[in-house]
Amino acid sequence: MAGDKEKSNLDNITAYSSSNDNVNIVRPSNPRSEWSKSLRMLEVEKAIDGSSAAVANADLLPVPPHGRTWGKVTYALYWFGESASVTSWTVAATGVKGGLSWWKSWLCVIFGHMFVCIPLVMTGRPGASYKIPFPIIARASFGIWGAIGPCLTATS
């Protein structure tokens, strides 16, 4: 009986503030259940086969045919948008400041984009062929947990 009285005294605590207003602070009856609810919100969902959702989830599946909306024009506009970015203008301006004429500087930028295009196309070919995202391609080389680093650098 004494344990019940102590427990009820701990559930309701009266606090005194500087303005002399009594404030009743009510703690949850079972703090462990509140803590476990908070931890359950942070858990990673399980996939159908029981594995972690970080290993397999809907975002990592191949893109279904109805979700493949990019065509030749979309790819061409994407590449144009990437090469006509502020970074390209900055590189060209640096070439001009370094003593190149404007057209030689732009020629260097264009050749640079063509040079970088080769490994980018080689990296993107498996995704375009098999319709799988980059994290799955990176797992083939680095493993499930080793691919986290390349995926983070690819997004930045």
pLDDT digits (tens, 9 = 90+) for 102-128: 999 999 988 998 898 888 888 888 888
Closest CA relative to residue 11, chosen from 38, 32, 29: 29
Structurally, the chain folds into a number of domains equal to 1
113: tokens are 């984009």
* Structural domain range at position 41: 2-153
Mean pLDDT of 63-92: 85
pLDDT in tens, 32-52: 667 777 777 666 666 555 566
Total-model pTM: 0.47
Residues 117-135 as b/e (b if ≥16 CB within 10 A, e otherwise) read eeeeeeeeeeeeeeebebb
State the burial class of residue 33 (Cβ atoms within 10 Å of its Cβ: 0-12, 13-18, 19+).
Answer: exposed
pLDDT over 50 at 11, yes or no: no
Closest CA relative to residue 151, chosen from 123, 125, 128: 123
Residues 82-110 as b/e (b if ≥16 CB within 10 A, e otherwise) read ebeeeebeebbeebeeeeeeeeebbebbe
118: tokens are 């080769």
> Which residues have a Cβ under 8 Å from the Cβ of 57 and sit 6 or more positions away?
45, 47
pLDDT over 60 at 61, yes or no: yes
pLDDT in tens, 83-95: 788 888 898 999 9
